[in-house]
Every structure is written in structure tokens, then in C-alpha cells.
Amino acid sequence: MQFIVDQQVEDIEMPENLKLNTFLKEFHSDCPHTECSFGLYGFAFGQSPFPVPKIVQEALIKNVGKGAYAAVPGIPELRNAISRYNKHYFGMDIAPERIYVGPGTKELIFNLLEILHGTVILPTPAWLGYLPQIRLLKKNYHMLPARANQKISPTDLKKLSLRLQDRQKILILNNPHNPTGLLHDRLELEEIADVCREQNIIVISDEIYAQTTYDFSKFVSMGKIYPEGTFVTNGLSKSHAAGGYRLGYVIFPHHATDLKRQFKKILATVYTAVSTPIQHAAIAGFEISKEMDEYFDVTRNIHQIMGEYTYHALSAIEGIKTTKPDATFYLLADFNAFATELQKVNINTSQKLSEALIVHPYHTAIVGGDSLVLERTDFSARIAYVDYDGAKVYQNYLDNKPKLSSERIEFVKNNAPKVVAGIEMICRFFKDIRKESWNNSQTQKNSMVTSS
Ligand SMILES: Cc1ncc(COP(=O)(O)O)c(C=O)c1O
């Protein structure tokens, strides 16, 4: 029996984050060199390293017996808690009826793209999750490349929008941003919102990293700036280190009653509701409490310390430019200054660069440019600085909070030795590339001299 798969499914590729596992297995075979028994330096996985907050774990255990189906948009206690959470942390008054809970924001973004008519505007670089969804839904889309500052330019947004024929357009805004770690501030969001109002652009504002903003007072939700046209998504995955719980939520614009009805139909048709015990556990994560407040505070401070170190250490390497993260646990490193040297040793694409870095003696995993919706030949990469034991580091931070800059550097050296060593490996790799490419050109020159 031969099974025929629909063409649009054939056409999409495995999402890059899942491809990464296969790639690492394929290229990082167990190394015979004893000094390489550490495995690899993991800058590739975008996962919070901390334990799920204790009060969330306890709530899950307590509610494990709740086997009944939940209401489609989520249980009322959870929608109420999310409403209070948004008021407390983001200063937004959101009626619980505007909040729909789903199995992760990835699914909710997919469902939104499914029901909203319009051409999608995808700013790049971008999180690797959006594009396969847009392709699967066969939606029209256009990229909006960032300017040199790696942010969305309102002027470029307007220019692009004027070229599009659609009555309605959908901008995917990811703030704070994966992979650059940058935050669009209030003023920048206001300028984007002005264009969106004028051009009838709806915004899906993916704010999954909001709580990780290092100077939290700087975070402003697009839901506050452009409430009439923004769908805000957020959830447990990054702020609560609970990606595996699969729980996210979307806030609808206040007048979107009919749209909510359509959305509910889709949810009911596709997955009914999020697991009931998980919803009860999530209440503990969204209720305002001393425990959660401390958790957000400690985890964002540790991300900041690791980010500062990674930024300074990478930018100290001649030729490497990186974004200076305001949030998240990522930065974007630009290796394009090495393009000529890389090409000389047959590394012509970002995929090839990732492969060259994962093999002996470097054993360093990064996410290369084409996985970030950049050109295949763009030698930029996302560096996730989370390769450490989150539970231990959390406790060490509480025991002795590093304040001075020298103490913060010491903290990284003591608590995240693989981050430190991985950056040294990247440095060594590019030194070797320079040497090898120079040797290659010398050999070429010599052979030209002997043959002439
Ligand atoms: C920008 C961004 N949005 C959404 C997600 C997925 O979130 P969820 O686990 O809620 O589906 C991720 C996860 O890596 C992400 O980086």
C-alpha cells in the first residue's frame, strides 16, 4: 500500500529546532579523543535551563486527579489569574473573556494565522518556528529584513505594505526578540503602531520572552500601544521554564467578539482544550506571589549575567560583531567578516559553518543563519547562553549574588564553564580558519610560481 501525502505537507521541511537533533547526532558522533568526553558546547538549544517553579510543580501534583475535559478557552480560574498577571506585570487591564488558553503559543499563533485573512509580513532574522507554519497554511508572505541595528524599520514596513494588494496584512512582531535578544522600546513600538494603523496591519505580538527583559521596567507590551489591532501571545515556556507543559495564551483585541467565536470553533475542532491538570498548575505560575516574583527576578538576572559575559567575550574576538541582548538568552553573532576566509576553505553556507563547528576539535553547536530565515550564505548565528545546570546556578546565585562586574565574570566562570570554554572554541575555530585559508593561498601561489 502506498500512501500519498498532500503536496503542501511534502513542501514544508521539518522545523529547524527538531532538525537540529538529527543534525547533532549525525555530525557529533562520539569523539575518540579522551579530552573530548564532555560531549559538546551547546549554544544551539533555546530552552530555559532552570527547574519549573516549585509552586507550579506542587500544583500539578495536587491536581493530577482532574480528568474531566476543560472549557475550550481555558478554565475560568486560569483566565482570571492570567488577567491579574497582565495587570501586575505588564500594566494591562484585560478582561478574562479576552484570554484564550492553548497548548503552547506555537499552536495559538498557527490558529491565528489560520483564521486571519491577509498577507503575512515576517521581519527577519526570525524565530525558526513561523515560516513552516505560514508555508503549511499556504499564506502569502513577505520578509521584512532588519536594518543594521537589527530592528524593524517603520519606514521599510510602510514601503513594503504599500506594495501589498491585500485589504489586511499581518505583522509578526516578536518582542523581545529571538534570535537577537533585542527589545523594541515604547517609542519604537509607537512608530510601528502608527504605520500599522495607517496601513491596516494586524499585529501578532509574540511576547514569550517578556519576563526575561533584564531591565524589566523597559518592557512594554504592543497590546498597550496598539490595543485595537494586536493579538498578544505569551505562556509558560520561557518565563517559567516549562516548554514541555505546553501552555500558552492569546489576548484578543477588545472588540474582537466575532473573531473569538471563530477561534473557539477552530480550537474545539482541533484540540478541544489544554490538559486540565496543566491548566491548574499554570494558575500557580500566573498568580502573583512572592515565590514567582523571586523566580522571575533571579532567572532574569542570571540570564543577564550570562548574556553580558557572552556578548563581551565574543565581541572581543577580532572580526566578530554581536547584538547586545536586552532580554532572552540569545544573541546574534555576525561572522561575516570571515566570509572570504571561510569560502577559501569551502565553507560557503551557514549550514556548512554549523557543520564545521560541530566536528572535532571544536564540538560547538550553534544555530546558523538559514535557520533564522537569513540568506543561506549569511554567516550569522544564534548563540544561546544556557549550557549550565540551572538548578545549581539558581541556588548559587541566591547564596551569593554577584554585584561588581568582576564578581559577575567570576560567577560565569564558576557556574557556566561550558559557556566560557565554548566561546574559547569559537575563537580557536576562527583563528584556525584564518591560518588554513592563508596556508591555502600560499600553496596556490607557490603552485602558480612553479608552473609558470
Ligand atoms: C519566539 C518564540 N515564540 C514561540 C516559541 C514557542 O513557544 P511555546 O512553547 O509557547 O509554543 C518559542 C520557543 O522557542 C520562541 O522562541
| Ligand 1 nearest-atom number relative to CA 235 | 10
Residue with CA closest to ligand 1 atom 6: 106
Choosing from 127, 182, 240 the residue with most ligand 1 atoms within 8 A of its CB, the one to mutate for a pocket test is: 127
Choosing from 238, 332, 367, 371 the residue with most ligand 1 atoms within 8 A of its CB, the one to mutate for a pocket test is: 238
Q: Mind listing the domains of the chain with CATH numbers? A: 11-49+292-429 (3.90.1150.10), 56-287 (3.40.640.10)
What's the pLDDT at 118?
96
The answer on pLDDT for 109 being more than 90 is yes
| Ligand 1 nearest-atom number relative to CA 248 | 10
For the ranges 57-61, 192-196, 285-289, 432-436, the lowest mean pLDDT is seen at 432-436
What's the pLDDT at 9?
79
For the ranges 180-184, 405-409, 430-434, the lowest mean pLDDT is seen at 430-434
Pocket lining for ligand 1, CB < 6 angstroms: 46, 104-106, 127, 129, 174, 178, 206, 208, 235, 237, 243, 248
The answer on pLDDT for 38 being more than 80 is no
Tell me the average pLDDT of the chain. 93
What's the pLDDT at 419?
96
What's the pLDDT at 450?
57
Identify which of 165, 119, 107 has the alpha carbon closest to the alpha carbon of residue 143. 119
Distances (CA, A) of 194 to 45, 154, 191: 35, 9, 5
Q: How far is the CA of 127 from the centre of ligand 1 (A)?
A: 8
CA distance 136 to 309: 39
The answer on pLDDT for 59 being more than 70 is yes
Q: Where are the beta strands (DSSP E) in 335-413?
A: 364-365, 367-368, 380-384
Q: How far is the CA of 248 from the centre of ligand 1 (A)?
A: 9
Q: What is the pTM of this model?
A: 0.94
Q: How far is the CA of 69 from the centre of ligand 1 (A)?
A: 25
The answer on pLDDT for 129 being more than 80 is yes
The answer on pLDDT for 200 being more than 80 is yes
pLDDT digits (tens, 9 = 90+) for 1-35: 888 888 877 877 766 556 666 667 666 666 778 77
Q: Are the CB atoms for 319 and 338 separated by under 8 Å?
A: yes
Q: How far is the CA of 37 from the centre of ligand 1 (A)?
A: 31
Highest mean pLDDT among 29-33, 34-38, 360-364: 360-364
What's the pLDDT at 65?
98
CA distance 221 to 12: 32
| Ligand 1 nearest-atom number relative to CA 243 | 9
Dihedral, CA of residue 366, residue 369, residue 370 and residue 372, to nearest 10: 90
Q: How far is the CA of 46 from the centre of ligand 1 (A)?
A: 9
What's the pLDDT at 12?
75
